[in-house]
Amino acid sequence: MTERQVTKRRILDRIDAPEDVRRLERQDLPRLAQEIREEILAVCSEAGGHLAPSLGVVELTLALHYCFDTPRDKFIWDVGHQAYAHKLVTGRRKQFKTLRQEGGLSGFPRREESIYDPFGSGHSGTSVSAALGMAEARDLRGDDYKVVAIIGDGGLTAGMAFEALNCAGELQRDLIVVVNDNEMSISKSVGAVSAYLNRIMTGHRVNRFREDIKKFLEEIPGIGKSVVKIATQAEESLKGLVVPGILFEELGFQYFGPLDGHHIDHLIDTFRNVKKLKGPILVHVLTKKGKGYPPAEANPDIFHGVGRFERSTGRIHENSSPPTYTQVFGKTLVELAQADKRVVAITAAMPLGTGLVEFAARFPDRFYDIGIAEQHAVTFAAGLALEGLRPVVAIYSTFLQRAYDQVVHDVCLQRSPVIFALDRGGIVGEDGPTHQGLFDLSYLRHIPRLVLMAPKDENELRRILATAIQYEDGPLAFRYPRGKGEGVPLDKEITLLEIGKGEVLREGADALLLALGSTVYPSLEAAALLEQDGIQVTVVNSRFVVPLDEELIGTLTRHHRVVVTVEENVVAGGFGSAVLEFLHTRGGRLPRVSCLGVPARFMEHGPQGVLRKRYRLDPEGIAQQVRTALQQGTSHRGTSHHGKATAR
Ligand SMILES: Cc1ncc(C[n+]2csc(CCOP(=O)(O)OP(=O)(O)O)c2C)c(N)n1
């Protein structure tokens, strides 16, 4: 039989919409689950993706679609990285191969993509709030569909999830919350709630074990019954030790579980029953992250979000040199923490992603994984810093968005010398608009007292980190890109930087390129391209957005007719804006200033390199911006922004 014929026979190939799942016999569902796993594995091994979370919820997804009337009933997936099976059974099977690729399916639920995605996600902890809002709107409008939020035990460490549960208990609308408990966030789940879920689960196992023993004893002829009686009396004292779900019951939910999340029949029976009930319901489901693929079951953290890998062995295709910014950051922090006992590190559930694994192993008492709780991370750091420690909050640019007020009110207003290491600043690529780090310069630049910088390469990242730890006058943030460093040598002895000072890397009379962070090397390459056309360009590694190197920029702009600022951030309110504001307030002769960055739109997903090119942040794009600015500079004076806006 050819592979084609085998494929043709798949049940999955007949699933064009959830109604097709609902038409199946229950006994066909395990086979469909198997086929879905195969499909997810085939696509992820070729192109990467959130493999382990998605493999873990295949049965859960099928049971939900089997029991509920989607799209009339609404599923809200928390984070949304586990929604691959959902995508496969909701009319996106044929495009599934394009997952996370340019122009292809998003890696997350997306309203624009499907009517089966009533709420987009990517950031954790939002599902219960959104679902509750929808349930409330439904009731106020007199409608009667069901709303189901599916949230992980990791997601439950987000304060926002509890704010929502608290409110749901009060509102008492019909709402179903499914807790997908795999004991994992990306790494092991942390905190008291996770321990609580764990106790429920262990209690459940103990209870089942007790039932089995009881049955066994009862069957012993003659003495069985009396032994059981004594044992039961002795056990009385243990009663109440584990009352499943009491926490959720106290919050106003009816609790059901824990259920085996890979047992489709149990899931279906439960969902069919709870569907008929009124008020907020919580169904606690136990799943195995990475289920069905041994390498992912063994290493669910590594296979949480993974690049290409060899399917037969689970070997991940990795090119280890040069090291990533994240790796250099992690190693340098260990080095500096060794010399300075005040250094502590905080992550919001991302020890792997932010490069803190080695730090955690070396300094377990100085490492805090506080769960998916960015707001808490920031204010916790504020407290640590005010009492003399040097906390480094290692966080993705996109996730710090959530803690904006904490940065303003708890860190900067208190002048608490917290260090923010913002990983994934700029274009991140395949994860798309929920994860692009394109707003940080704008959302941080205007906050008083916060020093804001970006290294041009991994060696400068080391210098920035060392400088940050020495700087005690107030808070400081720096952002660096996702991916490999520039491959520059790393100085053994780290030298400190002077706050507020940039550096001139190349001099030329025709135009001035003020570059920041990841755009510095491409700007140097652009200058080399322009030189071939006889255009001489000065290139500055600006390093600082706050404080801006006004002295350097002031002097250089007096000698250049055309200035181009370059940043991997939205132009609105970013580095270029800072330069413009400075030049305008300084007064005097204004050069023509053109700001190259990203327009204030949500950036789609696609490979980092492709997106950089599309937004003209590659050497050719930067060179073109300089050429255009020079042409316009000869015809008229003023300022312009790439991405439509032209400020004059
Ligand atoms: C606000 C926010 N912080 C951090 C992340 C990064 N992140 C993505 S998935 C995840 C773990 C989620 O754990 P859980 O909800 O249990 O889902 P699982 O992956 O175990 O299925 C984290 C921390 C995020 N998406 N959003």
Q: Is 648 helix (H, G, I), strand (E, B) or coil?
A: coil
Q: State the distance from the centre of ligand 1 to the C-alpha of 53, rounded, in angstroms.
A: 9
Closest atom of ligand 1 to 50 CA is 19
Q: Is the CB of 132 under 6 A from ligand 1?
A: no
The model's pLDDT over 245-303, given as tens digits with 9 standing for 90+, comes to: 889 999 999 999 999 999 999 999 999 999 999 999 999 999 999 999 999 999 999 99
**CB atoms < 10 A from the CB of 175, how many?**
25
Closest atom of ligand 1 to 349 CA is 23
Tokens 């107030």: give the residue: 474
Q: Is the CB of 395 under 6 A from ligand 1?
A: no
The amino acid sitting at 441 is L
pLDDT of residue 185: 85
pLDDT of residue 1: 44
Closest atom of ligand 1 to 81 CA is 9
Q: Is the CB of 435 under 6 A from ligand 1?
A: no
Q: State the distance from the centre of ligand 1 to the C-alpha of 79, rounded, in angstroms.
A: 6
Q: Is the CB of 82 under 6 A from ligand 1?
A: yes
Q: What percent of the chain has pLDDT over 70?
A: 90
Q: Is 217 helix (H, G, I), strand (E, B) or coil?
A: helix
Annotated active-site residue in 289, 462, 479, 482: 289
For residue 198, give the H/E element and its range. helix 192-218
As a dihedral over the C-alpha atoms of residue 455, residue 456, residue 458, residue 459, rounded to 10 degrees, the angle is: -90
- Residue owning the nearest CA to atom 23 of ligand 1: 349
Of the pLDDT bands very low, low, confident and very high (cuts 50, 70, 90), residue 648 is very low
Of the pLDDT bands very low, low, confident and very high (cuts 50, 70, 90), residue 321 is confident
Determine the average pLDDT of the residues in 460-483.
98
Closest atom of ligand 1 to 189 CA is 16
Q: Is the CB of 300 under 6 A from ligand 1?
A: no
Three-state SS letters, 492-511: CCCCCCCCCCCEEEECCCCE
| Maximal CA-CA distance, the chain | 107
Nearest Cα residue to 483 out of 372, 612, 373, 334: 612
Q: What percent of the chain has pLDDT over 90?
A: 84
The tokens describing 144, both together, are: 């009667």
Annotated active-site residue in 366, 390, 402, 462: 402
Q: State the distance from the centre of ligand 1 to the C-alpha of 336, rounded, in angstroms.
A: 29
Q: State the distance from the centre of ligand 1 to the C-alpha of 82, rounded, in angstroms.
A: 10
Q: Is 319 helix (H, G, I), strand (E, B) or coil?
A: coil
Pocket test for ligand 1, best of 79, 194, 422, 424 (most atoms within 8 A of CB): 79
Query: Which residues neighbour 264 within 8 Å (Cβ) at sequence distance 6 or greater?
Result: 26, 29, 30, 33, 59, 62, 63, 66
- Residue owning the nearest CA to atom 17 of ligand 1: 152
Q: State the distance from the centre of ligand 1 to the C-alpha of 122, rounded, in angstroms.
A: 9
Tell me the C-alpha distance between 424 and 12, whole Å: 36
pLDDT of residue 220: 67
Q: Is 121 helix (H, G, I), strand (E, B) or coil?
A: coil
- Residue owning the nearest CA to atom 19 of ligand 1: 53
Tell me the C-alpha distance between 476 and 388, whole Å: 15
Tell me the C-alpha distance between 122 and 110, whole Å: 9
Do 574 and 445 touch, CB atoms closer than 8 A?
A: yes
Catalytic annotation present for 289: yes
Tokens 């300094």: give the residue: 363
Tell me the C-alpha distance between 289 and 58, whole Å: 11
pLDDT of residue 4: 52
Of the pLDDT bands very low, low, confident and very high (cuts 50, 70, 90), residue 458 is very high
pLDDT of residue 207: 62
Closest atom of ligand 1 to 124 CA is 26
Determine the average pLDDT of the residues in 11-37.
98
Determine the average pLDDT of the residues in 92-115.
97
pLDDT at position 211 over 90: no
Q: Is the CB of 81 under 6 A from ligand 1?
A: yes
Nearest Cα residue to 524 out of 536, 506, 544: 506
Q: State the distance from the centre of ligand 1 to the C-alpha of 222, rounded, in angstroms.
A: 55
The model's pLDDT over 486-499, given as tens digits with 9 standing for 90+, comes to: 999 999 999 999 99
Annotated active-site residue in 374, 430, 458, 460: 374
Tokens 């510095």: give the residue: 520
pLDDT at position 235 over 70: no
Q: State the distance from the centre of ligand 1 to the C-alpha of 348, rounded, in angstroms.
A: 10
Query: Which residues neighbour 310 within 8 Å (Cβ) at sequence distance 6 or greater?
Result: 45, 316, 317
Q: Is the CB of 402 under 6 A from ligand 1?
A: yes
pLDDT at position 233 over 90: no
pLDDT at position 639 over 70: no
Closest atom of ligand 1 to 57 CA is 21
Helix, strand, coil share (%) of the chain residues, nearest 5 = 45, 15, 40
DSSP secondary structure letters along 428-441: --TTGGGT-B-SHH
Determine the average pLDDT of the residues in 515-539.
98
Catalytic annotation present for 374: yes
Q: Is the CB of 152 under 6 A from ligand 1?
A: yes
Q: State the distance from the centre of ligand 1 to the C-alpha of 274, rounded, in angstroms.
A: 27
Burial class (CB in 10 A: 0-12, 13-18, 19+), 585: exposed
Determine the average pLDDT of the residues in 135-156.
97
Three-state SS letters, 529-598: HHHHCCCCEEEEECCEEECCCHHHHHHHHHCCCEEEEEEEEECCCCHHHHHHHHHHHHCCCCCEEEEEEE
Do 379 and 400 touch, CB atoms closer than 8 A?
A: no
Q: State the distance from the centre of ligand 1 to the C-alpha of 339, rounded, in angstroms.
A: 33
Q: Is the CB of 285 under 6 A from ligand 1?
A: no
Of 318 and 209, the one with more pLDDT:
318
Q: Is the CB of 185 under 6 A from ligand 1?
A: yes
pLDDT at position 132 over 80: yes
pLDDT of residue 486: 97
Closest atom of ligand 1 to 122 CA is 25
Pocket test for ligand 1, best of 126, 183, 186 (most atoms within 8 A of CB): 186
Do 148 and 178 touch, CB atoms closer than 8 A?
A: yes
Tell me the C-alpha distance between 363 and 330, whole Å: 12
Tell me the C-alpha distance between 166 and 181, whole Å: 20
DSSP secondary structure letters along 227-290: HHHHHHHHHHTTTTS--TTHHHHHTTPEEEEEEETT-HHHHHHHHHHHTT--SEEEEEEE--TT
Q: Is the CB of 390 under 6 A from ligand 1?
A: no
- pTM tops 0.75: yes
Q: Which of 112-121, 187-196, 406-415, 632-641 has the lowest mean pLDDT?
A: 632-641
Determine the average pLDDT of the residues in 214-225.
66
Please work out, in degrees rounded to the nearest 5, the angle formed at the alpha carbon of residue 266 by the alpha carbons of 144 and 122.
Answer: 60
DSSP 8-state assignment for residue 293: -
Q: Is the CB of 123 under 6 A from ligand 1?
A: yes
What's the chain's average pLDDT? 92
pLDDT at position 643 over 50: no
Do 461 and 517 touch, CB atoms closer than 8 A?
A: no
Q: State the distance from the centre of ligand 1 to the C-alpha of 353, rounded, in angstroms.
A: 11
Q: β-pairing, 451-453 with 544-546?
A: antiparallel
Q: Which of 607-616, 622-631, 637-646 has the lowest mean pLDDT?
A: 637-646
The values of phi and psi at residue 185, to 5°, are: -95, -120
Determine the average pLDDT of the residues in 100-115.
97
Closest atom of ligand 1 to 56 CA is 21
pLDDT of residue 9: 87
Name all domains of the chain by residue range, CATH numbers in brackets. Answer: 3-185+251-298 (3.40.50.970), 325-479 (3.40.50.970), 503-641 (3.40.50.920)
pLDDT at position 644 over 60: no
Do 345 and 391 touch, CB atoms closer than 8 A?
A: yes
pLDDT at position 520 over 50: yes
pLDDT at position 638 over 50: no
Pocket test for ligand 1, best of 40, 124, 397 (most atoms within 8 A of CB): 124
The model's pLDDT over 603-615, given as tens digits with 9 standing for 90+, comes to: 999 999 999 999 9
pLDDT at position 439 over 90: yes
The model's pLDDT over 387-426, given as tens digits with 9 standing for 90+, comes to: 999 999 999 999 999 999 999 999 999 999 999 999 999 9
Q: State the distance from the centre of ligand 1 to the C-alpha of 124, rounded, in angstroms.
A: 5
pLDDT of residue 238: 46
